[in-house]
Structure 1
């Protein structure tokens, strides 16, 4: 392996961890709900898959259209996170409200889509650079899956310490991260 190839892989690893950090942050908030370890494993796998699919779509679209669509997807992801976080906050204060967004079914897909929107934008730029697509996608998926698991398990531990207030904290984290995506 040449020094150039090694440098490319190292930079892709750093990019993968950076992309996975949003999944970690958001999973920390989501993990504060009462979620079983089996469900946490599934959520990590789904988020990992989305962190592979979204940049792949971005690479394909990046070759076809301009970079302006990347900003729109980040806004959509931010609004999705705010909606999920607000729903968690409202259900924490009103116990009669049934949780609309659960990390299963369509809720899991919305959650995974919202945390992988930034990887779509990265895919747009990767499509222009000629990076080794298979290696990049594998690293993005693996890093986000592991970081999601770490965030969810840490959130589960924090839930045990904070009790009822953990859902408020979790919803606040999701809303905050959504605002960061929109305005940051």
Structure 2
């Protein structure tokens, strides 16, 4: 997988974190909120591909055609992101501070579960799994910062619509796994 593809995947995976950060930033946008979201979302987006890659390396020894599994995972994640981005619910802003306690851990896990599947994909090819995971984590942290910032500027700027774009990026990369 090329570095451009890793950045494309990092960009797509960061859309969930961006959307959540955007919603949080509508009401909670102090320096503490920026740091909490960027640190936790980035950390979980970094760790989940490592865990997924470990699972993928184990599976690679027992499963033939892991590239088809990788494509299916990307299609599923992309479809879910597009579906979630299209549905129109007015839950763009949070009323209670979700950057404290268990709710922050829950949001971190929820926004990084897709990265677990991407870790499986990283195990398929000759990738530097640690570097790829690091890129994904850093990009996600940056997107979280921008999400809080844009959320603080406007409640309905573009939030969930970016998730649709991220879903399409994952589907295109999934198609590449089937073709190559």
TM-score (norm 1): 0.64
Per the alignment, residue 20 of structure 2 pairs with 26
Alpha-carbon deviations, 1:45-89, whole Å to 9, x = none?
110010110111110112234759x69x96xx98xx9xxxx9x68
SS in 2 for 1:28: helix
2:119 corresponds to which of 109, 119, 123: 123
Per the alignment, residue 111 of structure 1 pairs with 107
Q: Following the alignment from structure 2 to structure 1, what is the Cα–Cα distance between the partners of residues 34 and 104?
A: 11
RMSD of the TM alignment (CA)? 3.8
Q: How does 1:65-84 map to 2 (within 5 A)?
A: 65=59, 67=69
SS in 2 for 1:56: helix
Please report how far the alpha carbon of residue 39 of structure 1 lies from its aligned counterpart in structure 2 after TM superposition. Answer: 2.1
Q: Following the alignment from structure 1 to structure 2, what is the Cα–Cα distance between the partners of residues 8 and 38?
A: 35
Which structure 1 segments of 5+ residues have no match? 1-6, 93-98, 159-165
Higher-helix-fraction structure: 1
Q: How does 1:39-78 map to 2 (within 5 A)?
A: 39-65=33-59, 67=69
Check if 1:142 corresponds to 2:135. no
Larger CA Rg, structure 1 vs 2:
1
Q: Following the alignment from structure 1 to structure 2, what is the Cα–Cα distance between the partners of residues 40 and 58?
A: 27
Q: Following the alignment from structure 1 to structure 2, what is the Cα–Cα distance between the partners of residues 48 and 110?
A: 14
Please report how far the alpha carbon of residue 33 of structure 1 lies from its aligned counterpart in structure 2 after TM superposition. Answer: 2.3
Aligned residues: 151
Q: Following the alignment from structure 2 to structure 1, what is the Cα–Cα distance between the partners of residues 28 and 54?
A: 38
Q: Following the alignment from structure 2 to structure 1, what is the Cα–Cα distance between the partners of residues 126 and 106?
A: 30
Q: Following the alignment from structure 1 to structure 2, what is the Cα–Cα distance between the partners of residues 50 and 34?
A: 21
TM-score (norm 2): 0.65
SS in 1 for 2:26: coil
Which structure 2 segments of 5+ residues have no match? 64-68, 172-180
